[in-house]
Amino acid sequence: MRLVVARCSVDYVGRLTAHLPLATRLLMIKADGSVLVHSDGGSYKPLNWMSPPCRLVEEPGRWVVENKAGEQLLITLDEVLSDQQHDLGVDPGLTKDGVEAHLQVLLAEHVATLGEGWSLVRREYPTPIGPVDLMCRDGRGGSVAVEIKRRGEIDGVEQLTRYLELLNRDPLLAPVTGVFAAQQIKPQARTLAEDRGIRCVVLDYDELRGRESDAFRLF
């Protein structure tokens, strides 16, 4: 993890353009290659960012961050106040809460909830940045990665996007599509997911539990 505090201006150039005027900000460069721009106030979320895979080129007084789609984050450095690197080691990952973990189990058992002819390949399918909740095959035999949350927010969509970028590099799986499944999905998260071609599914926890109970009553 590299943390740089600098007076800088930031320009995003891609499907649209955005400009952050000169101010003191925190620039975060993570080991996975992502670059995030934070301020000290407002939202806890970054003001702008570039998700991996992307490439950072450091020029005198300027950083150029570019992803494979050609989108760029141009960071113009007026003054660098601090530049530090920290090795955080391997993170054990997020432990799902009880409801979220149970949702994963229930959906794995009743994957046909997502569509006719669907089948489960594996729970906790491994990727280099952590496991995706479910890997499935849809009714046409296509690979689908499913990320499950209790509350669907933008962070979850970003997480699934990173998984999809890595999974689609595997010729045995590609093309891999995504499903973002949650009990509640915030409008901003839904908009971002749909813009990236990710299908959103609202899960009814009580209904899934009811199916589980019905299955037990058959025996």
Please give the CATH number for the structural domain made up of 98-217. 3.40.1350.10
Give the pLDDT band (50/70/90) at residue 5: very high
Q: Which residue has the tokens 């000290």?
A: 40
Alpha-carbon torsion (134, 144, 49, 56), positive or negative = positive
Please give the CATH number for the structural domain made up of 2-85. 2.70.180.20
Instruction: Please compute the mean of the pLDDT values over residues 23-48 and round it to a whole number.
Output: 90
Q: Compute the distance between CA of residue 59 and CA of residue 77 in angstroms, rounded to an integer.
A: 10
Is residue 140 within 8 Å of 128, Cβ to Cβ? no
Give the pLDDT band (50/70/90) at residue 42: confident
Q: What is the β-pairing status of strands 176-185 and 199-202? A: parallel
**Average pLDDT score over the chain:** 88
- pLDDT of amino acid 101: 80
Q: Compute the distance between CA of residue 13 and CA of residue 19 in angstroms, rounded to an integer.
A: 9
- pLDDT of amino acid 20: 95
Instruction: Please compute the mean of the pLDDT values over residues 80-87 and round it to a whole number.
Output: 94
Give the pLDDT band (50/70/90) at residue 216: very low
What residue spans define the domains of the chain?
2-85, 98-217
Instruction: Please compute the mean of the pLDDT values over residues 72-100 and round it to a whole number.
Output: 81
Whether 2-85 and 98-217 share one fold: the answer is no
Give the pLDDT band (50/70/90) at residue 211: low
| pLDDT-above-70 percentage for the chain | 91
Give per-residue pLDDT as tens, 118-164. 999 999 999 888 899 999 999 999 999 999 998 999 999 999 999 99
Q: Compute the distance between CA of residue 196 and CA of residue 178 in angstroms, rounded to an integer.
A: 9
Give the pLDDT band (50/70/90) at residue 177: very high
- The overall longest dimension of the chain from CA atoms, in Å, is 71
Q: What's the predicted TM-score (pTM) here? A: 0.56
pLDDT at 213 over 70: no
Count Cβ atoms within 10 A of the Cβ of residue 93 and give its class: 0-12 exposed, 13-18 middle, 19 or more buried. Answer: exposed
| pLDDT-above-90 percentage for the chain | 65
Instruction: Please compute the mean of the pLDDT values over residues 65-83 and round it to a whole number.
Output: 95
> How would you classify residue 124: left for phi > 0, otherwise alpha for psi between -120 and 50, otherwise beta?
left
